Chain A
Amino acid sequence: MRRLVAHPLFWPLAALALLLVANGLFNPGFLALQWRDGHLYGNLVDIANRAAPLALVSLGMTMVIAVRGLDISVGAVLAIAATVAAWTIARLQAGGAGGLLPLFAAIGAALGAAALCGLWNGLLVVKAGMQPIVATLILMVAGRGLAQLISDGQILTIYYAPYAFLGNGFLFGVPFALFVVAAVFTALQLLLGRTALGLFVRAIGHNPLAAHMAGVRARAITPALYVFCGASAGLAGLLVSSNVASADANNAGQMLELDAILAVALGGSALTGGRFSLAGSLIGALIIQALTTTIYSIGVPSQVNLVVKALLVATVLLLQAPRFHLQMQALLRRASLLRRAPAKQP
């Protein structure tokens, strides 16, 4: 039991389980899963599916935070990728292209653009030596402007059936977006575990100077991680724009950067770098989506739902804080002493 509690994923998982169980109590049908028309349905599937874009962005965010970085431009990059995808499809369709060509062209163009954004961020941080929060603030502000240049200030609607599959399709009865998240997670986990990349990332995050002096080339690794972070935001942009069949340069991925940072923190990664958990960040993203769903399902008035969300987030973070655990233990010990004390007196 003690070892179970000490596991870094214990508290994030406990928080998620608690949220889901609480929902189940409020709303008896909440945890039910159904198989209808060859698809899996239910609130749990819905939460996971809606969490997919945030989960992807959180994975990217985890990697930059692991090397003491930060990327607050992910929301803007998501909007750029979505817009590029919609624009590419519209252009190719206007040119008479059919079949799956527009699909693959859109994916390639959107991911390419997002990766470029990541490269820009990475170079500002490593070559120009800017503070990550400042470096990525530039694209956070300018990115939506860029996206609007492409979209000409319009919300681009996508009239192309194959593209809808990314965000709405099912594979083996399960939403396709979940496969995307699983694939990125698995690939990243393998890359970090089977190569030396994981070791280098942790070395840089824990002690950049010592890593440098041991020959770890942080100046190459760090930009690559920003590229990955950008690309994962781009992938999220594809899912989002496919889901709603349009690209809104202004509003797609609003405040996503904050949710992604929160997911990383909820998952138990150190925001100071070095110690990180990809699985934790996935759970963090699920917690955030579960919170949102909870707030809607228990019918919190929309004016106060941000306040409720903030309270719940604070509770979850508190539950995970080692310091809070110690204080609670001390409090319990004192309480039990007090209970025993009167018995000793004559």
Chain B
Amino acid sequence: MSAEVLRAEGLGKRFGATVALDGAGLTLRAGEIHALMGQNGAGKSTLIKLLTGVESPDVGQIVLDGRVIAPATPLQAQHEGISTVYQEVNLCPNLSVAENLYAGRYPRHRWSGLIDRTKMRADARALLAGLHLQIDVDQLLGSYPVAVQQMVAIARALGVSARVLILDEPTSSLDQNEVRELFAVMRRLREGGMAILFVTHFLDQVYAVSDRITVLRNGAPVGEYLTAELPQSALVMAMVGREVATSVAREQTHAAPSDAPFVLEARGLALRGALEPIDLGVRAGEVLGLGGLLGSGRTEFARLLFGLDRADAGELRVAGEAVELHDPADAIALGLALCPEERKTEGIVAGLSVRENIVLALQARSGWWRALSPARQQALAREFVALLGIKALDIETPVGALSGGNQQKVVLARWLATTPRLLILDEPTRGIDIAARQEIMNEILRLARQGMAVLFISAELEELTRLSDRIVVLRDRRKAGELPAGSDGGQVLELIAGNT
């Protein structure tokens, strides 16, 4: 086994009431590509922020070459030998390649102190040659494709005598060939003894290039595995939760509404580049679970249903009538509701009060002219604050001042106030604590029992199997399969991982 370069132990980090990391750790060895895996919110980004000095850990320590380090800024981390290339290339497209490589540390003439451009160009060429990249270093960086820019970013990271290279989702904007190029570079660096931490959510890429895998879940470490010894389904299981395989389906508290009419029906609904044609119907009183990994098309499907994107093929029927949705307002008028995945940007209006946030969708549906009376607004707000247990000073508190879980409840209240026929929940419990999660779920089940249809999108198998009457799984932007009520986590897992 090769020498250990970096070891992080017992790292913990809280942001307000949210526990982002709880005892996470990681060991990187020289000459190894190490994949860091986990779902959204598992704590991957936080762990990287701690390693690169963007944030400081509350507890735990980072050991580099046997020495405890505590980088307070990304620059300090770089000087220690930890370099990072982020998902979004953060170089300057309006500067030349060479300038980008040496920005902030230009080689200087000995006497005049001016920038030594000749040396800079020569150094830049040498550095890129090390990555087998032959491009004109005088051209503007922006004139090259993203893949090349990514290589330049890597070269820049290497330029500062790096011991550890962290690649955060480097492949998300690359095509197949470019990914292969990148992998070739990564392998060359591995041969040179570099310890590489590779963060991605593409399973096949993990198997193509990594030697070892560390999995995080809910901010805690699940385990470290040798890639060659870990089957793909076991990896997915580790990511989404081992207990799911044995988790049982939800108790059937009401008759399976298999004969209830469809509230919403998609027939061959598709959007090029986002979703392959899909057939799917949701019945009144039914909780239809929609599972799949990130990028499987879950959110894209929800956006089509809600008029946020326009389908370019297929048909959408609401209560049996074919409809065309041009705007969320159209969908809302038909009795649809969507709790979006991105709470802060798409959900709450932070500057408005709890009351105003709760009445917003209902008021938008009644039109600007017919204002809900102040008394009605207060009554509605109070009703939902009590019903969902929203913790706020009073209903006039700005929503931005609430905790994440309470903000999510406010968004849910906004939609429940419209008494929707179909409620679409896109990852409704992401980033909120367990108690709030439970309350939200209970309320949703109660409403389903009263006849509301629910499309429940979640990456968490445990939640999915426990709440859903029926589960549809998406994979690679198409429907991978459908499971009846009573399916367990293992069956869902097989569909998600594609082992069928």
Tell me the A residues contacting B by CB distance below 8 Å. 194-197, 199-200, 202-203, 205-207, 209-217, 219, 221, 274-275
A-B contact pairs, 9 of them (CB 8 A): A196-B364, A196-B371, A196-B372, A197-B368, A202-B352, A210-B347, A215-B361, A217-B327, A275-B351
Enumerate B307-338 residues with CB–CB distance to A below 8 Å. 308, 327-329, 331-333, 338
The answer to whether B364 and A206 touch across the interface, beta carbons within 8 angstroms, is no
Given A203-B356, A214-B361, are A195 and B351 neighbors across the interface (CB < 8 Å)? Answer: no
For A224, the closest partner residue in chain B by CB is B368
A214 to chain B, nearest CB (A): 4
Interface size on B, residues (CB 8 A): 33
Would A215 and B352 count as touching, CB distance under 8 A?
no
**A207 and B329: CB pair below 8 A?**
no
* The 7 nearest A-B residue pairs measured at CB: A206-B351, A215-B364, A215-B332, A215-B329, A207-B349, A196-B371, A214-B361
A91 → B minimal CB distance (Å): 38
- B346: Cβ under 8 A from any A Cβ: yes
> In the complex, what's the smallest C-beta–C-beta distance from B367 to chain A, in angstroms?
8
Query: Contact between B350 and A207 (Cβ–Cβ < 8 Å)?
Result: yes
**B interface vs A, CB < 8 Å?**
306, 308, 327-329, 331-333, 338, 340, 345-352, 356, 359-361, 363-372, 414
Q: Would you call B349 and A211 a contact (CB within 8 A)?
A: yes
Q: Which of A205, A210, A212, A274 lies at the interface centre, i.e. has the most chain B CB atoms within 10 A of its CB? A: A210
Cross-chain contact B360 with A211 (CB below 8 angstroms): yes
A206 touching B352, Cβ below 8 Å: yes
Chain A's nearest CB lies how many Å from the CB of B370? 8
- Cβ contact of A199, chosen from B306, B348, B363, B370, cutoff 8 A: B363
Once the chains bind, are B347 and A217 in contact (CB under 8 Å)? no
Which residues of chain B have C-beta atoms less than 8 A from A221's C-beta? 368
Chain B residue at minimum C-beta to C-beta distance from A197? B368
Cβ distance B198 to chain A, nearest Cβ, rounded Å = 32
B351 touches A202 (CB 8 A): yes
Task: Give, as a whole number of angstroms, the nearest-CB distance from B416 to chain A.
Answer: 13
CB-based contact B365/A215 at 8 Å: yes
Q: How far is the CB of B317 from chain A (nearest CB, A)?
A: 20
Across-interface contacts of B327 in A (CB, < 8 A): 212, 215, 217, 219
The answer to whether A195 and B348 have CB atoms under 8 Å apart is no
Q: Are A213 and B328 in contact (CB under 8 A)?
A: yes
- B363: chain A residues at CB < 8 Å are 196, 199-200
Set of chain A residues within 8 Å of B306, measured between Cβ atoms: 213
Alpha-carbon distance A272/B466, docked complex (angstroms): 44
Add 4 more A-B contacts to A199-B360, A202-B356 (CB < 8 A): A205-B351, A213-B306, A213-B340, A215-B365
User: Which of A194, A195, A199 touches B356 (beta carbons < 8 Å)?
Assistant: A199
